[in-house]
Amino acid sequence: MTDLLPAGIDRVLVTGGAGFIGGAVVRRLLRDTTAAVFNLDKVGYASDLTSIGPNPRHQLLKVDLADAAATAEAVRVADPDLVMHLAAESHVDRSIDGPGAFIESNVTGSFNLLQAVRTHWEALASERQERFRFHHISTDEVFGSLGPEGRFSETTPYDPRSPYSASKAASDHLVSAWHHTYGLPVVLTNCSNNYGPWQFPEKLIPVVILKAAAGEPIPLYGDGANVRDWLYVEDHVEALLLAATRGRLGQSYCVGGAGDHGSPSERTNKQVVEAICSLMDQLRPEGAPHGRLITPVTDRPGHDRRYAIDAAKITSELGWRPGHSFEEGLGATVRWYLDNLAWCGRVQAQAGYQGQRIGTRAAASHPSA
């Protein structure tokens, strides 16, 4: 696609580009634009650059956003026309055991980035200043938990309930404040649960695939009836690039998935786990029925009951619709993980994570954790 970026957007700073969604954004920019892509990432436990590979238009800036001076220097080096801010600690279970890292990265880190970007934007020549945009990538979890009815939209009041979602809500508010107070040209997006290739195997879908492939117990939190809206990562990237370049300044856009024939992509965790097990039965019949491995475990503390997204605004204003149904995306994802078990083993070993249960509050007794 030639018009993925408007004319004059030649230098893009992606934060968190060594992670799951940021990596997909970087790959798409390298594949379908001629822009120079600067990838600011601290290269933490969930990071891996294998999917990006060597490319002369890609430059990694290994920086922790918690370091204000290093962040300012990285923004100076990147000299961006567009910033897409994805870097964040992203796993709810880890935020329960160690909330401090979420405040440092997601709140202080976003603040440091906003300050550095503001300095950069204020010094730009007027033509570049006119084109410049800061896009903040956030989650639907900032809206809290729904009952059986209704969906989140851009006007839903914030009601975060986990350390992760509270830190993301804080960063959303900072971004909005920098727009209203300093005039920084910003766009925000709040997306539902993503899944797809290259996701660090600690979140529901890759964990279930790996446990099923290994013939190990598949943990199902609580009664398994918690509902999430699922979006294939490539569809999220499409929405992000549209919102970043064509979204109205100062606006936020909710982004969510779709099922077969345009049905909603809301699924209970139990439905997701069972769908993976039945795909595994087809792809690895020797281990069937994989459903026998499903093992209920104690629930996540404060587990939000239901998330659902009304994506009407981004559809009507920017023409975005998910290109993959949940069924298509899940099939592609299961096949990808089965073909890339060696990668999973390597990144898990690097991170010192072997699929063990976290986020039960067992490790949260220390007040600074």
Nearer to ligand NAD, 41 or 266 (CB): 41
Output the smallest distance, CB 86 to ligand NAD, in A. 4
Nearest to 178 by CA among 116, 246, 89: 116
Output the smallest distance, CB 63 to ligand NAD, in A. 6
DSSP label of 324: S
Output the smallest distance, CB 107 to ligand NAD, in A. 10
Nearer to ligand NAD, 87 or 294 (CB): 87
Nearer to ligand NAD, 293 or 318 (CB): 318
Binding site for ligand NAD (CB under 6 A): 16, 18-22, 41-44, 46-47, 64-66, 86-90, 105, 109, 137-139, 168, 191, 193-194, 200
- Are the C-beta atoms of residues 283 and 335 closer than 8 Å to each other? yes
Place of tokens 């994570």: 353
Nearer to ligand NAD, 89 or 238 (CB): 89
Nearer to ligand NAD, 139 or 156 (CB): 139
Out of 48, 97, 140, 202, pick the active-site residue: 140
Output the smallest distance, CB 318 to ligand NAD, in A. 17
Place of tokens 């779709």: 258
**Is residue 127 among the annotated active site residues?**
no
**Dist CA 255 CA 229 (whole Å):** 10
Nearest to 328 by CA among 262, 244, 268, 281: 262
CA distances from 328 to 24, 101, 195, 196, 353 (A): 18, 35, 12, 11, 29
Q: What is the DSSP string of 205-247?
A: HHHHHHHHHHT--EEEETTS--EEEEEEHHHHHHHHHHHHHHS
**Dist CA 150 CA 258 (whole Å):** 16
- Are the C-beta atoms of residues 253 and 314 closer than 8 Å to each other? yes
**Is residue 141 among the annotated active site residues?**
yes
Output the smallest distance, CB 91 to ligand NAD, in A. 7
Output the smallest distance, CB 127 to ligand NAD, in A. 30
Nearer to ligand NAD, 111 or 121 (CB): 111
- Are the C-beta atoms of residues 255 and 230 closer than 8 Å to each other? no
Output the smallest distance, CB 106 to ligand NAD, in A. 7
Out of 48, 97, 164, 229, pick the active-site residue: 164
Q: What are phi and psi of 94, to 5 degrees?
A: -65, -30
Nearest to 225 by CA among 272, 157, 279, 258: 272
**CB contact set of 32 (below 8 Å; sequence gap of 6+):** 1, 4
Place of tokens 């503390």: 301
DSSP label of 325: -
CA torsion angle 269 99 302 214 (round to 10)? 30
Out of 41, 97, 141, 238, pick the active-site residue: 141
**Is residue 10 among the annotated active site residues?**
no
Nearer to ligand NAD, 33 or 171 (CB): 171
Q: Which residues are catalytic?
A: 140-141, 164
